[in-house]
Amino acid sequence: MMLEESIRILAMQEEILQFAHFTNEDAWELGSLMVAEAARNHLPVAVSIRLNNGYTVFQYGFNGTNYNNEQWMKRKQNTVRVMEMSSLRFFMKMKKNGNTMEDYGLNEQDYVAKGGGFPIRVAGAGVIGSVIVSGLDHMADHEFASACISQYLQIDGIPRLPVSF
């Protein structure tokens, strides 16, 4: 699949998967749905839902996850917060344009261009936080997050990249 098409699909996902509101209760329900889905599919992931103010409103790690997953999630969340797009779309845009993290003024200790960070975009308010997954291949991290958000919002048929988990 061409990079331009992948970027277009990812932007469409982010546009479609917007929340009317997002409360701590929403974070609990979405996070719990994600944990149940990961358990059902035997996925060794860590899941985190974090607000842009730095507050973690939900987090769970299955056996086999560790501090390394926490560091990946922190870097993915920083990327979503600053770029206001999924960390996978940022990865694809960098790849398409031949950019580096430094071209955006971002260092690799605090930011990462890999999939798994998805923006929590609230209609009328913009990006207020991130849903973050770590533990799979970065493409599958993104697919898992977007599929769970789609399920939570009860939005069927969102465009998807050809990745399965």
Residue-wise pLDDT tens digits, 41-87: 999 999 999 999 999 999 999 999 999 999 999 999 999 999 999 99
Which pTM was predicted? 0.95
Q: What is the DSSP string of 106-155?
A: --TTT---SS-EEEEEETTTEEEEEEEEESS-HHHHHHHHHHHHHHHHT-
Q: Residue 162 above 80 pLDDT?
A: no
Whether the Cβ atoms of residue 56 and residue 50 lie closer than 8 Å to each other: yes
The per-residue pLDDT of the chain, averaged, comes to 95
Residue 10 lies in a domain: yes
Burial class (CB in 10 A: 0-12, 13-18, 19+), 94: middle
152 half-sphere exposure, CB direction, 13 A CA radius: 27
- 2 backbone φψ class: left, alpha, beta (φ>0; ψ -120 to 50): beta
Residue-wise pLDDT tens digits, 112-128: 999 999 999 999 999 99
Name which residue leads in pLDDT, 157 or 70.
70
The one-character DSSP state at 65 is: B
**CATH (domain of 12):** 3.30.450.150
Whether the Cβ atoms of residue 130 and residue 117 lie closer than 8 Å to each other: yes
Q: Residue 165 above 50 pLDDT?
A: no
Residue 165 lies in a domain: no
Tally of domains in the chain: 1
Residue 159 lies in a domain: no
Residue 77 lies in a domain: yes
> What pLDDT, on the 0 to 100 scale, is given for residue 124?
94
Mean pLDDT value of segment 33-42 = 98
Whether the Cβ atoms of residue 37 and residue 151 lie closer than 8 Å to each other: yes
Q: Which domain holds residue 125?
A: 3-152
